[in-house]
């Protein structure tokens, strides 16, 4: 039973990560745009800034996925 719950949790986490990407994607787009404006004549500065934006999106997506998976796992355990 526990193995099933862990497997379902992992599956839910993967599925919910896709759903949570929307808001994280918008944040990254805004961040990337800021980098392009801030570092208009500095290619390396722009690349570094956009790399930071991508890292922040990864953290955002991971957090949202984990939060959703945790909630769904709790509901599964309650039933």
Residues 26-62 pLDDT 10s: 999 999 999 999 999 999 999 999 999 999 999 999 9
- Overall pTM > 0.75: no
With bands split at pLDDT 50, 70 and 90, how would you rate the model's confidence at 75? confident
Give the pair of three-digit tokens for residue 76: 């599964």
Give pLDDT, residue 1: 54
DSSP 7-60: HHHHHHHHHHHHHHHHHHHHHHHHHHHHHHHHTTT-HHHHHHHHHHHHHHHHHH
Domain map of the chain by residue range? 2-78
Phi, then psi, of 42 in degrees rounded to 5 = -130, 95
> Is pLDDT of 25 > 50?
yes
Nearest alpha carbon to residue 28 among 1, 64, 55:
55
């Amino acid at each position: 039973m526990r193995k099933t719950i862990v497997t379902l949790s992992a599956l839910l986490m993967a599925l919910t990560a896709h759903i949570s990407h929307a808001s994280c994607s918008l944040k990254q787009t805004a961040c990337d745009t800021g980098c392009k404006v801030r570092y208009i004549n500095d290619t390396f500065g722009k690349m570094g800034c956009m790399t930071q934006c991508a890292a922040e999106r990864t953290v955002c997506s991971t957090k949202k996925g984990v939060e959703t998976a945790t909630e769904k796992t709790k509901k599964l355990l309650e039933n």
